Chain A
């Protein structure tokens, strides 16, 4: 057997194995989807969504725009690996087909071009190709160099922490790190012997030839390159590098409209495998501050993949959505985590048989205060004053008795139980014949908006509703010279996308100071009901940090639009905290 005929076998075996596993997984994921999801794929396949997905795959899979926006160095590193390697394959292929003048050539000649094509070539543009390939190689190598640095000094990248790895990850990482330096030495070696590279490489090769026995190094180097590629490809499906293919798959599925619908299915796996464990979510997580270091999204995804997710990790999350906002792959981590919670608590949902159907009062507007507003009576009082002043025909639904809205149960994964409360409340609201439902709590707002089936009822958060009243002239606000900062509640901001309405309402009468971490970057108050594991002491650390940040702007007070945020902040006793409704009531101009 000749060396030339067999040395590329490790590479070949690795490639075949890799694609067999990946295609197998894609098929399994597809088959595990629900019937409706399969119809969605069939419909989406021949639509503009597919084109969008192709563009998004190029943008995020190769160019890594989002990653670049989060962290420039990290973005460059990912781009050099992805785009550089991709172009090496493509340009290498074009170079080989130019050399042969046909597309029909042994495929290994394109991968190991400088090993096989040893004679002096003179097809048009051969020097250009040689330079292009070498440039691309250097481009990837620059990324590899950054990767070395990042592993040992992640702070240079502005990252406080990188993801902890498993044993298999180390094998894949080492083989990946070796691929491109090996290739570099291979090409130098070939260029030194056959002078088949660019003039620069030929010169370097000739120089190296004076000191090194290139002839006897040539075959071991190329063989090592082939084996290294083979090892990396075999390790890929079992390590984080699976994300290279899974991410593309996820982009397509996501754009075709596949989502997790309160239950775990194979789309969970499609999401889990597309996590590149870049570690961006770790730094975004506020729990670090309280010393909680094992429940960040990347670790949850990893635990799901390794099938060792514990309740302690799964439920130790504020579901504030900061990691989801920043995730370069755009994984829907909050939804993923909630479906995992639903799955683990399936066996113990409550039935709430004691619920009675209340009697609805006919009205135009229903006001639902929610449990948290009842715990902060100042907000309730302010809301009632506003509703009275506006002259609306309203009904205070949970004035004396009403069940919870269901969102806290939903956050704890108790979906079936939450559904019982939802059904009860929904019937009452529909019976009232109201067209508008006003809630003064973002936690309630989210569940009313997303999980209640009330197509004719418009759900309004009180900040939206009061703004409407002011715009319609039902309320007039006077000027005040108070300097305030506004805190975006997680469920209202990132959760429901309401950033501008409260700000517009506040700026009617106050001097609203913009702050650094606001809107999408807003911090969680630390009181989130989504976290079942965090202790009160840890919560206090989070709230104090946020309040101290607010205090650095020297406002007269902090305004929020969530009773839970207010309650949590008020406890720190750093600054006075008010709800948006209270601020409005202070500034109402009495029409006399």
Chain B
């Protein structure tokens, strides 16, 4: 049946196939990520974001959607300077989140081999 509209492929999250391993790994070791309210303070202050197209909130969106490929390129832009940590009103330990994502990417890549 055609209702005249359909989900846009690129925007839909198929929860049956979406890869949540990295997200679960990160939340297991850094549960503070769950209290993030996406205010964007981290993104505004980011040192790397000043130099290149890097966005902490987008990084989190990729993490939550399981976009492993994009996450890989995005996460490598971070310089770990820690400003995000200091401005975060919720006390999310973002530096640890970044390190955990980096580690998880390696772990799951090795598993697939």
Q: Indicate if B62 sits at the interface (CB-CB under 8 A).
A: no
Tell me how far the C-beta of A394 lies from the nearest C-beta in chain B, rounded to whole angstroms.
Answer: 22
Tell me how far the C-beta of B31 lies from the nearest C-beta in chain A, rounded to whole angstroms.
Answer: 9
Q: Indicate if B65 sits at the interface (CB-CB under 8 A).
A: no
Tell me how far the C-beta of B97 lies from the nearest C-beta in chain A, rounded to whole angstroms.
Answer: 10
B-contacting residues, A522-536, CB 8 Å: 527, 529, 532-536
Main secondary structure of the interface of B (DSSP, over half): helix
Contact B80 A412 (CB under 8 A): yes
Could you mark each residue 330-351 of chain A with 1 if its beta carbon is under 8 Å from any beta carbon of chain B, else 0?
A: 0000000000000001011011
Instruction: Tell me which of B29, B48, B85 contacts A312 (CB under 8 A).
Output: B29
Say yes or no: A536-B91 contact (C-beta < 8 A), given A312-B29, A345-B103, A348-B105.
yes
Distance A412 CA – B48 CA, assembled complex (angstroms): 17
Tell me how far the C-beta of A401 lies from the nearest C-beta in chain B, rounded to whole angstroms.
Answer: 6
Tell me how far the C-beta of B68 lies from the nearest C-beta in chain A, rounded to whole angstroms.
Answer: 14
B-contacting residues, A285-339, CB 8 Å: 311-312, 315
Contact B76 A532 (CB under 8 A): no
Contact B79 A421 (CB under 8 A): yes
Contact A350 B29 (CB under 8 A): no
Instruction: Tell me which of A350, A372, A532, A534 contacts B77 (CB under 8 A).
Output: A350
A-contacting residues, B16-52, CB 8 Å: 29, 32, 45, 47-48, 50-52
Q: Size of chain A's interface in residues, with CB distance under 8 A?
A: 35
Q: Indicate if A355 sits at the interface (CB-CB under 8 A).
A: yes
Instruction: Tell me which of B79, B81, B87, B103 contacts A348 (CB under 8 A).
Output: B103
Q: Size of chain B's interface in residues, with CB distance under 8 A?
A: 30
Main secondary structure of the interface of A (DSSP, over half): loop
Could you mark each residue 79-107 of chain B with 1 if its beta carbon is under 8 Å from any beta carbon of chain A, else 0?
A: 11111011110010101100100110110
Contact B82 A354 (CB under 8 A): no
Tell me how far the C-beta of A349 lies from the nearest C-beta in chain B, rounded to whole angstroms.
Answer: 9
Q: Indicate if A490 sits at the interface (CB-CB under 8 A).
A: no
Contact A408 B106 (CB under 8 A): no
Contact B99 A403 (CB under 8 A): no
B-contacting residues, A26-83, CB 8 Å: none
A-B pairs with lowest CB-CB distance, top 5: A536-B91, A350-B76, A354-B52, A348-B102, A371-B81
> Using a CB–CB distance below 8 Å, which chain B residues touch chain A?
29, 32, 45, 47-48, 50-52, 75-83, 85-88, 91, 93, 95-96, 99, 102-103, 105-106
25 pairs from A and B in contact (CB 8 Å cutoff):
A311-B29, A311-B103, A345-B103, A348-B105, A350-B78, A351-B76, A354-B52, A354-B77, A371-B81, A372-B82, A372-B83, A372-B86, A375-B45, A401-B51, A403-B51, A404-B47, A404-B79, A404-B81, A408-B79, A408-B80, A412-B80, A533-B96, A536-B93, A537-B91, A567-B86
